[in-house]
């Protein structure tokens, strides 16, 4: 959502987005915004309103005129007086001024007298949250159900020599045998053939399979082993690999919104997430 080339038009759009998002659950809707939002008052004068909202509680409703000031200076009393005159001419019940740089003292005093709400909305400065602009949004827990079956070889029998150690059995996938014709053959081919057969057996059913192969197990750590037959024994095993993984969802703080009189602070992230912050927690 962030626009690095923010101007007055984008500032109005951000204001509209914030009030639409915050108000959607409280009966507040946007009636109009931008240059096309124009109303004729009792004086027959036409007034352009930056953002016009309506708040309905089921029994009654009222409208709010929001003025956006993307200025490089503070808003003064004249701007507050102008909005007060406009909402009086239009019979609009409430006025809000949103300013980038804040308000002068006379503007604060006159706005409080006229019951006009003042909001400062600006980019997060370098002092916000001690320079840490990261916003911890929520933790997402994802449960992964993974029941897996796998063939487990428990014994490799060469006749006079048996291998039963689990780690040693696993290492046999990389062993080599020399057949009677002098050809070298990967021992893992025989293990893989047996393991595929285990997949067709019932869980935990002990199964053995012999292969009439003559040859020599070579380069084995206990020396070469002669054999005339290879017998594998094993079973099909079911394992529960279910787990829960947690992910911390983080976004960057972009805009800070402060309600001057009500002491409320909201932060807007780059992704468009709005959350209420603790008032007075951070400086800018």
Same domain membership, residue 174 and residue 215? yes
Q: Are 265 and 126 part of one and the same domain?
A: yes
- The enclosing domain of 72 has a CATH number of 3.40.1350.10
The reply to whether 74 and 174 lie within a common domain is no
Considering the domain architecture, whether residues 154 and 100 belong to the same structural domain is answered as no
Which residues make beta-bridge pairs with 227? 215
Are 23 and 124 within one domain? yes
pLDDT score, position 9: 92
Per-residue model confidence (pLDDT) at position 283: 47
Q: Are residues 226 and 261 in the same domain?
A: no
Could you tell me the pTM of the whole model? 0.59
Distance of CA 74 to the CA centre of its chain: 36
Give the residue ranges of DSSP H helices in 3-160: 8-23, 77-90, 105-114
Query: What pLDDT is recorded for position 256?
Result: 84
User: Is residue 12 domain-shared with residue 106, that is, in the same domain?
Assistant: yes
pLDDT for the residue 209: 95
Q: Do 18 and 112 fall into the same domain?
A: yes
What distance lies between CA 166 and its chain's CA centroid? Answer: 42
- What pLDDT sits at residue 136? 64
Q: Same structural domain for residues 218 and 257?
A: no
Beta-bridged to residue 117, according to DSSP, are 96
Q: At what angle do helices 105-114 and 77-90 cross, to 10 degrees?
A: 20
In a domain, 95, yes or no: yes
Number of domains in the chain: 2
Q: Are residues 44 and 125 in the same domain?
A: yes
Task: List average pLDDT for each run of 10 residues in the chain, which is 284 residues long.
Answer: 73 92 84 94 96 88 95 96 97 96 96 94 70 61 82 94 92 91 92 94 94 90 89 93 71 79 80 72 50
Per-residue pLDDT, 250: 63
Q: Is 113 part of any domain?
A: yes
Looking at the fold, whether 258 and 220 belong to one and the same domain comes out as no
C-beta contacts of 40-45 below 8 A and 24+ residues apart: 41/86, 41/89, 41/90, 41/91, 42/89, 42/90, 42/91, 43/89, 45/89
Q: How far apart are CA 35 and CA 85, in angstroms?
A: 19
pLDDT at 127: 56
pLDDT at 249: 57
Q: 25 and 88 share a domain?
A: yes
pLDDT for res 251: 63
Domain span including residue 46: 8-130+252-277
């Amino acid at each position: 959502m962030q626009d690095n080339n923010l101007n007055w038009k984008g500032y109005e759009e951000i204001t509209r987005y914030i009030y639409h998002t915050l108000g959607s659950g409280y009966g507040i809707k946007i009636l109009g915004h931008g240059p096309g939002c124009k109303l004729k008052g009792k004086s027959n004068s036409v007034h352009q309103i930056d953002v016009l909202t309506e708040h309905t509680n089921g029994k009654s409703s009222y409208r709010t005129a929001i003025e956006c000031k993307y200025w490089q200076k503070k808003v003064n009393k004249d701007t507050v007086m102008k909005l007060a005159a406009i909402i009086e001419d239009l019979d609009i019940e409430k006025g809000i001024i949103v300013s980038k740089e804040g308000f002068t003292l006379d503007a604060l005093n006159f706005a409080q007298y006229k019951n006009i709400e003042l909001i400062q909305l600006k980019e997060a400065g370098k002092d916000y949250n001690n320079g840490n602009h990261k916003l911890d949004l929520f933790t997402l827990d994802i449960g992964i159900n993974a029941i897996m079956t796998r063939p487990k070889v428990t014994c490799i029998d060469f006749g006079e020599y048996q291998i039963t150690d689990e780690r040693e059995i696993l290492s046999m996938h990389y062993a080599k045998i020399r057949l009677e014709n002098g050809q070298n053959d990967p021992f893992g081919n025989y293990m893989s053939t047996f393991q595929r057969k285990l997949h067709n057996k019932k869980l935990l059913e002990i199964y053995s399979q012999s292969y009439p192969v003559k040859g020599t197990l070579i380069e084995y750590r206990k020396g070469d082993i002669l054999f005339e037959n290879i017998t594998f024994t094993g079973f099909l095993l079911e394992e529960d690999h279910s787990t829960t993984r947690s992910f911390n969802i983080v976004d960057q703080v972009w805009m800070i919104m402060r309600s001057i009189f009500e002491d409320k602070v909201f932060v807007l992230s780059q992704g468009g997430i709005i959350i209420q912050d603790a008032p007075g927690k951070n400086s800018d």
